[in-house]
Amino acid sequence: MADYRFSAQIIARSQGRSATAAAAYRSGGVIADARTGEVHDYTRKGGIEWTGVMVPESAPAWAFNREKLWNMVEQKEVRKDAQLAREVQLSLPHELNFEQRKALVCDFVQREFVSRGMVADIAMHQPDRAGDHRNFHVHIMLGTREIGPHGFGKKNRNWNSREELSALRAAWAEVQNEHLRRHLGPQAPQVTHLSYAERGEDKVATIHLGPIATGMERRGIETFLGNHNRDAARRNRTIRSSRIRISELESAAQQRVNRSFSYVANEARLEAKKAIDDKRRAEMALRDVLARKAILSQGTSRKALEAQVVQEAQDEVRRLKWELVKAQEQGRKLRKKAKSLSRWITNPARMIWIKVAELHQRDRLEVARRQAEARLQVRQEWLGSAEGRVWIDQGRRSGDWRKIRTDERRIRRHVRRAERQASRALSLAENADALARVVYGRSGLPDGIELLRMPESRQRFFSEVNKKIHEAVSALPAELRIKLSQSLTKGLSRGN
């Protein structure tokens, strides 16, 4: 499917924008704003493929001049929060050439905008050299007022309605599909304006990055929009591959093949080997958990937890005491050095300044030390309180205990499940071997059972094989059934 994009926005003064600046930027030209005196020069902007202005037949001649057109729009709107223009951005099909894309844009603009009294300023852009080479697109700036022989008239509020926007989205898809079929034939790719949800597709839509996010992504800076699009693409790839896999499984699940009893016995032995290996790995993990449990049971003492609570405060007190001693030593060295300088001695103000600075630093460190000692005292008193003793007891019982208990229970369940699977598979292998020996060389007896080519799971495989083996035993002659019934019943009951 070809790419479809239709987005619309309002260019308003409340956003700090002007119609003249927007038109100059999109067309890559120069427009002088008569209202503010600014000159908007974007002649160095690249990627402009074609620009043009389309107006109704009754519009005055100055409407074809881009600079005069948008200055008249600015002059007509007097409010400081006025809506100056509307902009529609469309993705153009890269399957068409320049002339075909231009004809497509002009056709759509004439049908949906100009024929209804709107003025349209069109700027077709080429893909950026550092971006997607298929990103041909067009910016269409539209006036908010109808235009006639005497210039702009009243605003048409219906042009901004949701119903109008939905109709334009559908019309753009229809016109684009019409031009694609005209130039590429009946098998041309088609677009749709419907969302993934409306089409019933389980896909995540991407978000248009815009110039700011695109520039950041090209410089290697991850953005929220870029991360969203990457996550959406990753999820869509997963959904697509999952659907293919589900389709393959569904088609394979409908196919049945005849499997001999010997084949069933071999498959069961392989499953038993896998289950035994799983059990061994789980038992090794269980030994590790039990070893951790034994170490922890010896471990966390009351004194260790109490030391852990007060350690931080004690370290802070020791650090501040050391800084206080160091500051006093630095003050003594500085005064001693100052006394050896004649200029400092002859200026008592400097000596006083040194002493005051030393006293301020010492006072600051003394206050911090007393606060740290107070925090240490509070922690020590809390440890002696009833609440602190309860916390210590809980800490001795908790820690890694909860995780160890969870791991132990989980691994023990894994061991028991692996034992059941291995027992069931070995029992199934013995029974299939017994059936193979009974029917071998006896004409008229089935030598196997019909099974799914690709079972959904091991559980379903064993269930179906057990059921088929019961049916095979029931179909045997009476003397053979009596011979096998006891061992088969015992084995299957143990396996189930």
What is the rounded average pLDDT of the residues 21-30?
A: 92
Q: Which backbone phi and psi does 237 adopt, to 5 degrees?
A: -65, -40
Residue 368 pLDDT: 82
Q: Are strands 83-91 and 6-12 parallel, antiparallel or unpaired?
A: antiparallel
> Which tokens hold the place of 430?
């013995």
CB proximity list for 169: less than 8 A, separation 6 or greater: 6, 193
Asked if 262 contacts 428 with a C-beta cutoff of 8 angstroms, the reply is no
Q: Which residue has the tokens 């501040």?
A: 320
Asked if 472 contacts 459 with a C-beta cutoff of 8 angstroms, the reply is no
Type of residue at 455: P
Asked if 410 contacts 271 with a C-beta cutoff of 8 angstroms, the reply is no
Q: Which backbone phi and psi does 472 adopt, to 5 degrees?
A: -65, -40
496 has pLDDT over 50: no
Q: Is the pTM of this model over 0.85?
A: no
DSSP secondary structure letters along 66-88: HHHHHHHHHHH--STT-EEEEEE
Reading across the β-sheet that carries 83-91, which strands appear in turn?
6-12, 83-91, 137-143, 120-125, 48-54
Q: Which backbone phi and psi does 110 adopt, to 5 degrees?
A: -65, -45
For residues 422 and 273, give the distance between their C-alpha atoms in angstroms, rounded to a whole number: 7
Residue 16's pLDDT band (boundaries 50, 70, 90)? confident
Asked if 451 contacts 256 with a C-beta cutoff of 8 angstroms, the reply is yes
Type of residue at 348: P
> Which tokens hold the place of 108?
């759509």
Asked if 399 contacts 300 with a C-beta cutoff of 8 angstroms, the reply is yes
Asked if 442 contacts 472 with a C-beta cutoff of 8 angstroms, the reply is no
Residue 494's pLDDT band (boundaries 50, 70, 90)? very low
Residue-wise pLDDT tens digits, 27-62: 999 999 998 889 999 998 888 999 999 999 989 999
Which of 198, 220, 223, 195 shows the shortest CA–CA distance to 209?
223
Q: Which backbone phi and psi does 450 adopt, to 5 degrees?
A: -95, 125
Task: Of 1-10, 13-22, 461-470, give the lowest mean pLDDT range.
Answer: 461-470
Residue 168's pLDDT band (boundaries 50, 70, 90)? very high
**Report for 97-111, 132-146, 410-424, 433-447: range of highest mean pLDDT:** 97-111
Asked if 306 contacts 389 with a C-beta cutoff of 8 angstroms, the reply is no
Please give, one letter per residue, the 3-state secondary structure of 111-176: HHCHHHCCCEEEEEECCCCCCCCCCCEEEEEEECEEEECCEEEEECHHHHCHHHHHHHHHHHHHHH
Residue-wise pLDDT tens digits, 270-307: 888 888 888 888 888 888 888 777 766 655 556 666 66
CATH class of the domain defined by 6-193: alpha beta
Question: Between 453 and 59, where is the model more confident?
Answer: 59
* Percent of the chain residues past pLDDT 70, beyond the cut: 80
Burial class (CB in 10 A: 0-12, 13-18, 19+), 31: buried
Domain range annotation of the chain:
6-193, 210-253, 302-397
Dihedral angle over CA of 180, 185, 187, 190, nearest 10: 10
Which of 248, 271, 307 shows the shortest CA–CA distance to 453?
248
For residues 392 and 395, give the distance between their C-alpha atoms in angstroms, rounded to a whole number: 5
For residues 43 and 27, give the distance between their C-alpha atoms in angstroms, rounded to a whole number: 9
